Amino acid sequence: MMTAKQQLRILFVLLLLPGAILAQESGDPEPETPVLVGPARLDLNIRAGDQNQRQTFTKPEAGANVTVDVAVTEGAMDRTGFDIVVTYDADQILFQAAEPVDLYEGAYLLPSLEPGRINIAGLLLDSDTDRASGSLAQITFIVLGDLPEASPISLNAALLGSALAIDSIGVGTETSIVRLGGDRPAIEQGNPDFNGDGSVGFTDFVIFAGGFGAAAGNQSYNPALDLDGSGNVGFSDFLIFAQAFGT
């Protein structure tokens, strides 16, 4: 039997979050200068938190599963629930599943589906979040056919709630959209200058760390990080990178 606290939290999701997300979507018009980077983000690297992967490294084939991570970089401490709206091209991909992760692992999910749009509310029944940043949920889609060009998936709105307070989490135009397929710069195999700035430094290390452990066939596998061409990003690649670091 549910406790009174759990029942109150269920009511919080069912009654308060849907109205808040509707108000956010239909509220003030977009500012003249859109915010490029916001704390609420989408990411194609399924490690916890935002790893800054906004595009697949290869074009997903028909029937392939693609998982999108929904993350926040701030504002998540001591929260009970979340509500997010994600849109996509229903002619190209199909929603398959949603799972609470990281900050909201074990949470109760309440998804609401329309063609090309999914609204997901999540609720922790027995605890609150213990960190300010991390992942909220992961959403899996299946590719329906050949993607003629990059197919976008967008985070339109994000809310985080604690007790009876609900806060909107900012969504940036560059960090809230991921793309499946599409053109990417040519890969120079074996070059540890991943960001192309002419030196191998901390930014390159962050990029390398985000893809470490991935293997060919995994959506997080970046062939540019596979410095030894072995089909996975592992310890030998790290040794090659470490030797070049600082040059």
Residue 2 has pLDDT above 80, yes or no: no
- pLDDT at res. 177: 95
- pLDDT at res. 31: 53
SS3 201: coil
- pLDDT at res. 135: 97
Q: What is the pLDDT of residues 136-183, one digit of tens each?
A: 999 999 999 998 889 999 999 999 988 767 888 999 888 999 999 887
Q: Quick check: 60 and 181 in contact, CB under 8 A?
A: yes
Q: Between these two residues, 187 and 39, which has the higher pLDDT value?
A: 39
| Among candidate residues 125, 141, 72, 126, the one with its CA nearest the CA of residue 103 | 72
Q: Quick check: 43 and 53 in contact, CB under 8 A?
A: yes
- pLDDT at res. 193: 86
Domains identified in the chain and CATH numbers: 4-180 (2.60.40.680), 185-247 (1.10.1330.10)
Q: What is the DSSP string of 119-150?
A: EEEEE-SS-----SSEEEEEEEEEE-S--SSP
Q: Which residues, in sequence order, are CB contacts of 218 under 8 Å at separation 6+?
A: none
Give the C-alpha separation, 44 to 179, whole Å. Answer: 9
- pLDDT at res. 17: 55
- Mean pLDDT for all residues in the chain: 84
- Residue 19: CA atoms inside 13 Å, Cβ hemisphere, count? 7
Q: Between these two residues, 16 and 167, which has the higher pLDDT value?
A: 167
Residue 122 has pLDDT above 90, yes or no: yes
